[in-house]
Amino acid sequence: MGNKTYQEVLSWASSFLEEQGKEGYAIFYVFLGRKKWTKTDWLLHMKEKMPQGEQTQLKQDLNDLLDDYPPQYLLGYEEFYGRLFKVNSATLIPRPETEELVKWCLQNTKNSKRGEGTCGRCRYRDRSYFYDFEIGTSPMASRCGGCFKRGFGNSSIEQLYAWCRC
């Protein structure tokens, strides 16, 4: 890739992924995550030359994305309900729809100072009830530092919804 700017390299990488039938935005997502950049940071730096080491990492990320490796696993984390959680191949990636379910649960559960039911108890602790359940189903998932602690196994959304109605 040579002596190219961030914008040139990422534009090429995005187009390359799309030509392969993959989501082009994924490389931008991974790049911003690796750099810990916001979109504003991107705008401030996009005309700068991309160092060779970063280009090498980007090529590896492209290969992984071509192999359908999720961007969140490449980064090792995902944001969920305003918090970062460690993710790996042993955990499920938190989904935006689940955030909506969490929000609904928090708005529609009983609560007292002690809390009632699992949701209420956890709601009292920083309104973050999702700390008390684990979505990952493998034994390794329970060892993942940011993963959830109470197992639901292969519960469906309906079962999770019923649980939240505590």
pLDDT (tens digit per residue) in 112-133: 444 444 443 343 344 444 444 4
Same domain, 101 and 147: yes
The pLDDT of residue 165: 38
Q: Does pTM surpass 0.85?
A: no
- 10 Å CB burial of residue 61 (0-12, 13-18, 19+) is buried
Residue 163's φ and ψ, nearest 5 degrees, are -60, -40
> Would 1 be classed as within a structural domain?
no
Same domain, 66 and 81: no
| Count of structural domains, the chain | 2
Q: Are 55 and 8 in contact (CB under 8 A)?
A: no
Residue 49's φ and ψ, nearest 5 degrees, are -70, 135
| Rounded CA Rg of the chain | 19
Which of 49, 74, 99 terminates a domain? The answer is 74
Which of 21, 54, 74 terminates a domain? The answer is 74
> Would 143 be classed as within a structural domain?
yes
Same domain, 115 and 127: yes
Give the list of residues 6+ apart from residue 112 with CB closer than 8 angstroms, or none: 120
Same domain, 67 and 104: no
